[in-house]
Copies of this chain bind each other. A is one copy, B any other.
Amino acid sequence: MAEGTGHLEPDAVEREQSPPNRVDRWLLNMLNQGCGEPDADIALWDVAESPATAGRPLLRITSRQALYRLLVKPELRFGELYASGELEVYGDLADLMERIYAGLRRATLAKGPLRHALERAMQRRARPNHLDGSKQNIHSHYDLGNDFYALWLDPDYMQYTCAYYPTWQATLAEAQAAKLEHVCRKLALKPGERVIDAGGGWGGLARYMARHYGVTVRSYNISREQVAYARERADAEGLGDRVEYIEDDYRNITGTCDAFVSIGMLEHVGLDNYAALGAVIDRSLTDKGRGLVHSIGQLSHRPLNEWIERNIFPGAYPPTLQEMLDVVSNADFKVMDVENLRAHYAHTLEHWREGFEANVGDIEQRFGAEFVRAWRLYLSGSRASFSAGEMQLYQVLFERNWSEALPATLSRLYRDP
């Protein structure tokens, strides 16, 4: 990690600290204003560690050094300092993040100069994705170990993407199965058809499609561990003859298909490659072919939070809906439907967080306390960013312009199974 994020021992920090002075207090006030005076308490190191007051979360900055570093680059430093233990949160972390997002929104509406400075600081391009770079970017996140993800993802399909909740009472497993069903219905799959799945994760979508829709699926993924897991599981479930997992990049997809689907890959593709992805889809789809792209998105063009981009998803970028449409706008595809499932992702992340916390002892033993704090922040912060509208989740359904293979209404999505 660049720029000296190695942290001091807490004891050493405590020893060398003098109590907050007037400059520290003035900076704290600036920070509070820059965040739009969020409905939360922000305290300095003179405040004893203490539980949050009723319903109001508390953020404690444990040292002068942490305060200074936070002010210089808040988007990056918040995550680093929280992961290292130099920021402490009392009360619910996701709740705190949501209150900060709400404050930042107010600050944006008020167009304060500090907020503008903060936003300028965030204007930074994600690193470009070339074939080798993509492989490295993906490895660092998805090859943490299948066992780790199995602790908190849904066991049936290991979906590491937004679920679909027919009602908020659905369990994570039900909602992930419902998501897969939703996607299959949107694509109007028919038995015997051929599907290409770009960025297939642990292979759950391909197995679902083969089992419930009688199609054959070729699923591409550049994560070796995921592909190994997917193959083993498909074989164990007797689906090995209908699903093929290919360890390769989407740019190397060959052959044709009746449906092209990509769930949660576009975030890693990089804007510069959208036209290339569109060309791959164009050369893959038959004349009656349909396509669906599912991706995290956002309302205006901004890089992903720098801390998440550096530490969790290297090279990731969530497109605006207009940018996302660039994937299909060069070829002769017509968009038939766009659905925003943002609230579903907030709910999914809450379920993941619950699963993560239920296994936090195991995880800490294996990866250490800093890893736990980083992941806690990532899951909580992501939940907050979907709840607060910092992030969206779009599914875009399309087909060839001259084709009418898709039914003229979406009633098929809401029929009982």
Contacts and interface: CB of A to CB of B under 8 A. Distances in A.
A413 interface: yes
A335 B334 contact: no
B344 A408 contact: yes
A102 B413 CA distance: 31
Interface in A276-330: 299-300, 320-322, 325, 329
A32 B334 CA distance: 27
A346 to B, nearest CB: 10
A105 interface: yes
Contacts of A344: 408
Contacts of A102: 402
A207 interface: no
B105 A402 contact: yes
Interface residues of A, number: 39
B342 A339 contact: no
B401 A389 contact: yes
Contacts of A337: 337-340
Contact of A414 (B105, B335, B408, B414): B414
A68 B171 CA distance: 69
A342 B334 contact: yes
Interface in A341-361: 341-344
Contacts of A62: none
Determine which residue in A388, A389, A408, A414 has the highest number of CB atoms from chain B within 10 A of its CB, and name it. Answer: A408
A380 interface: no
